[in-house]
Structure 1
């Protein structure tokens, strides 16, 4: 990786975020925010009869929490991040239940110069794991970053 990104993790470096326990409040707030009131997330009786036996968190909520955890634990340098370019290879591997504690293991898999001078494209590979170290989600996130903080 170019030394112009001083202070940013080197390619291949893995960083584990802090953890967060997914609460009923998270699920209800997400449903309110997005309008996704599917009963598997919000109806205790319905979910009890499902193959999961209880309510599960929304997949996009798990994604958002993992991205948020990475910014809170300084995996991503907010002063240098110019734009979020996208997401690739998103896989929901296991349900996240209310009461599960998740964290993200983030690896810098690529950092390359962007078309514009002084900017880099950084690819981060995410593994989201629960309290039993089971993978619940994987994805890659691509960022456009400046070589220097503004």
Structure 2
């Protein structure tokens, strides 16, 4: 049974709860071989480096099953959003991104992120929050960095 005094668990942060300088770390996620196959099939990413092991073995400068950068980003976003914006994220507005190194099937990644901008939106009690997100592998090496700008719900102050 629910009433107005019951707190809903799992709700993300409101923009007012994310001041500039706040830092967070997500849990990790291992990207398995099956994940790479499912992702490349789902999005139609038929690049031989991702779909043809014989080709990749002969032509890739990196040995092992490469994970597409788009998939690393998608996994990172899943980790971040589940921890911060469940029910409070309203829109993804913009991002810059740099792939810093390869991710291979079997790697475990987590995201370290810091709030670098947090301000009210022009209307509706909402706010804009930008973070600097670093995707880190199990060796402590950053493999991607990106800075998304999100529209976040505001806490009802009334």
Q: What TM-score comes out, normalization by structure 2 length?
A: 0.83
Q: Which residue in the other structure is 1:85 paired with?
A: 93
- 1:23-64 alpha-carbon deviations (Å, 9 max, x no partner): 111111111111002111122222222110222001100000
For the residues of structure 2 that align with 1:92 and 1:81, how far apart are their CA atoms?
A: 25
For the residues of structure 1 that align with 2:114 and 2:99, how far apart are their CA atoms?
A: 18
Identify which of 34, 40, 47 aligns with 1:25.
34
Q: CA RMSD in A?
A: 1.6
> Conserved in 2, the CA contact under 8 Å of 1:104 and 1:129?
yes
Identify which of 41, 49, 53 aligns with 2:63.
53
Q: CA, structure 1 residues 71+60, in 2 after alignment: closer, same or farther (shift >3 Å)?
A: same
> Conserved in 1, the CA contact under 8 Å of 2:15 and 2:118?
no
For the residues of structure 1 that align with 2:34 and 2:42, how far apart are their CA atoms?
A: 12
Stretches of structure 2 lacking an aligned partner (at least 5 in a row): 1-13
Identify which of 80, 93, 98 aligns with 2:105.
98
- 1:90-145 alpha-carbon deviations (Å, 9 max, x no partner): 00110100111111111111101111141110001100011111110000011111
For the residues of structure 2 that align with 1:58 and 1:99, how far apart are their CA atoms?
A: 13
What SS is found at the alignment partner of 2:117?
strand
Aligned pair count reads 142
> Conserved in 2, the CA contact under 8 Å of 1:59 and 1:92?
yes
For the residues of structure 1 that align with 2:123 and 2:15, how far apart are their CA atoms?
A: 15
For the residues of structure 2 that align with 1:116 and 1:78, how far apart are their CA atoms?
A: 21
Stretches of structure 1 lacking an aligned partner (at least 5 in a row): none
Q: What TM-score comes out, normalization by structure 1 length?
A: 0.88
What SS is found at the alignment partner of 2:80?
helix
* Post-superposition offset of 1:5: 4.3
Q: Which structure: larger Rg?
A: 2
